[in-house]
């Protein structure tokens, strides 16, 4: 089997590289700025992480075949007078990906971002990214995938984009491992007191199940009358999937969610940097190990940081099983089809190439 070299940009704790390493491919460069993520990354992957990608020249990056990047979403500027991807992407971290693709010309790439990236700025951001990548001579495919379809009990929808330097017959995997529940990953013997819900949370969960109402109204006298909770009250509702939802009864705001609890028989919402799921039936938060399983990280993966930092890093990372299936589909498609891409960088006009080469590189962080 052909082995590829790849780079890992905005690498976090390295979730995107795990499937490639498992398949025997070689990471030749990684970049990250968060010191705690770097600490976890270097501990597990035994590679030295380079720092801020905005300060690294393309010439200092070794040759590679695949670019991997879970890049941050930043506003795109259309203020410049010149045409071409540099002008459209300047001031964003996507520009760093674009300039490296331009300079290094890898065979393929995989990008990941939040679901909302697709509709950001009325779709203008996505259009800019897609047009920029195509101008660089890449065939581009993108979609939204849900991690729950790939064997983890977490409804995590993310935008994924792949590109090839030639025409290939590529189709995104759909995921055929639905049906996992939190009970499949939860340790019911976990009794860490730090994970327990507050007395306030336990009391209101108990109050919900003591009522015969479908939609239970809670005491809002503890909230100031001028606040939304004080004005409209707090209600709880047990959803068919076993999740317990608390919301503010403001009809004009379609019942603003105030809190969300899951159970062993339900699926977790998206784990994010500032929130891990809470279990109403076990009356506790998920542990670091359980959050690791939610993202499909391997058993041997370790965190040499605080629990709070570990959960933050996992929330910022990727669902590994989704990346695994996409990478497999990418490589298989690339190997199967050797048709040259019609629009390659060398086909662009001299004026366009001149624009790329003459544009100044200014990145706003």
pLDDT in tens, 177-198: 888 999 999 999 999 999 999 9
pLDDT in tens, 127-140: 989 999 999 999 99
- Residue 123's domain comprises 5-179+317-358
pLDDT in tens, 311-362: 999 999 999 999 999 999 999 999 996 565 544 444 444 443 344 444 433 3
Same domain membership, residue 258 and residue 175 = no
* 243 lies in some domain: yes
Q: What is the model's pLDDT at position 311?
A: 96
Alpha helices in the chain (DSSP H): 18-22, 35-45, 85-89, 94-104, 124-135, 199-210, 228-232, 288-294, 307-315, 320-336, 350-358
Q: C-alpha distances in angstroms, 334 versus 103, 166, 298, 321? A: 21, 8, 27, 20
pLDDT bracket for residue 172 (50, 70, 90): very high
Q: What is the model's pLDDT at position 364?
A: 33
What is the chain's Cα-based Rg?
23
Span 58-86, mean pLDDT?
A: 74
Pairing state of beta strands 66-69 and 26-30?
A: unpaired
Same domain membership, residue 287 and residue 160 = no
* 363 lies in some domain: no
Number of domains in the chain: 2
Same domain membership, residue 170 and residue 66 = yes
Q: What is the model's pLDDT at position 82?
A: 42
| Residue of 223, 244, 243, 241 whose CA lies nearest to 232 | 223
Same domain membership, residue 143 and residue 21 = yes
The answer to whether residues 169 and 339 touch, using CB atoms and an 8 Å cutoff, is no
Same domain membership, residue 329 and residue 225 = no
* 24 lies in some domain: yes
In angstroms, the CA 66 to CA 6 distance is 4
Alpha-carbon torsion, ordered 35, 40, 46, 49, to 10 deg: -20
Same domain membership, residue 217 and residue 145 = no
> 120-134, 250-264, 300-314: which range is least confident on average?
250-264
* 150 lies in some domain: yes
In angstroms, the CA 133 to CA 114 distance is 19
Q: Which two tokens stand for residue 57?
A: 């020249």
pLDDT beyond 70 at 280: yes
The answer to whether residues 108 and 66 touch, using CB atoms and an 8 Å cutoff, is yes
Beta bridge mates, 237: 215, 245
Span 265-281, mean pLDDT?
A: 92
Same domain membership, residue 249 and residue 127 = no
* 196 lies in some domain: yes
pLDDT bracket for residue 29 (50, 70, 90): very high
- Write phi, then psi, for 214 (nearest 5 degrees): -75, -45
* 250 lies in some domain: yes
Same domain membership, residue 277 and residue 295 = yes
Q: Full-prediction pTM beyond 0.75? A: yes
* 312 lies in some domain: no
> Catalytic residue at 73?
yes
Same domain membership, residue 300 and residue 339 = no
The CATH number of whichever domain residue 17 belongs to comes to: 3.40.50.150
| Residue of 247, 241, 238, 232 whose CA lies nearest to 208 | 238
Task: Residue count of the chain, please give it.
Answer: 365
Point out the catalytic residue in the list 27, 73, 161, 291. 73
Same domain membership, residue 169 and residue 290 = no
pLDDT in tens, 287-297: 999 999 999 99
DSSP classification of residue 335: H
Q: What is the model's pLDDT at position 123?
A: 87
Residues 6+ apart with CB under 8 A from 285: 195, 197, 276, 277, 278, 279
- Write phi, then psi, for 270 (nearest 5 degrees): -60, 125
Q: What is the model's pLDDT at position 264?
A: 97
Burial annotation 243-279 (CB, 10 A radius, 16+ → b, else e): bbbbbbbeeeeebeebebbbbbebbbebbeeeebbbb
Same domain membership, residue 160 and residue 27 = yes
pLDDT beyond 60 at 252: yes
Same domain membership, residue 126 and residue 11 = yes
pLDDT bracket for residue 156 (50, 70, 90): very high
* 272 lies in some domain: yes
Q: What is the mean pLDDT of the chain?
A: 88
- Write phi, then psi, for 66 (nearest 5 degrees): -130, 135
Q: How much of the chain exceeds pLDDT 90, in percent? A: 71
In angstroms, the CA 115 to CA 137 distance is 25
């Amino acid at each position: 089997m052909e082995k590829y070299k790849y780079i890992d940009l905005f690498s976090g704790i390295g979730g995107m590289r795990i499937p490639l390493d498992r398949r025997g491919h070689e990471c030749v460069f990684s970049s990250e700025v968060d010191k705690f993520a770097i600490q976890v990354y270097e501990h597990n992957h035994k590679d030295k992480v380079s720092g801020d990608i905005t300060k690294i020249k393309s010439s200092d990056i070794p040759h590679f075949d695949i670019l991997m990047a879970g890049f941050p979403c930043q506003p795109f500027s259309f203020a410049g007078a010149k045409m071409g991807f540099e002008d459209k992407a300047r001031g964003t971290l996507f520009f760093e990906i674009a300039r490296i693709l331009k300079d290094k010309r890898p065979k393929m790439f995989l990008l990941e971002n939040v679901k909302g990236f697709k509709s950001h700025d009325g779709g203008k951001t996505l259009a800019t990214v897609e047009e920029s990548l195509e101008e660089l001579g890449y065939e581009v495919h993108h979609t939204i995938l849900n991690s729950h379809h790939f064997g983890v009990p977490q409804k995590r929808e993310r935008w994924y984009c792949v590109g090839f330097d030639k025409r290939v017959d590529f189709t995104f995997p759909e995921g055929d491992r639905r049906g996992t529940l939190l009970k499949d990953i939860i340790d019911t013997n976990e009794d860490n007191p730090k994970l327990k819900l507050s007395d306030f949370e336990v009391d209101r969960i108990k109050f919900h199940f003591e009522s015969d109402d479908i939609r239970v109204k809670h005491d809002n006298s503890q909230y100031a009358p001028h606040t939304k909770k004080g004005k409209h009250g707090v209600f709880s509702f047990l959803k068919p999937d076993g999740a317990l939802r608390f919301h503010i009864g403001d009809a004009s705001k379609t019942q603003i969610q105030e809190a969300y609890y899951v159970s062993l028989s339900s699926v977790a919402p998206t784990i994010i940097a500032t929130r891990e799921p809470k279990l109403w039936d076990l009356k506790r938060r998920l542990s670091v190990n359980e959050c690791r399983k939610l993202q499909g990280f391997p058993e041997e993966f370790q965190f040499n940081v605080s629990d709070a930092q570990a959960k933050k890093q996992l929330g910022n990372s990727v669902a590994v099983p989704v990346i695994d299936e996409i990478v497999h589909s990418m490589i298989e498609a690339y190997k199967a089809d050797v048709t040259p891409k019609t629009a390659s960088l060398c086909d662009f006009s001299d004026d366009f190439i001149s624009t790329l080469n003459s544009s100044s590189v200014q990145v706003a962080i």
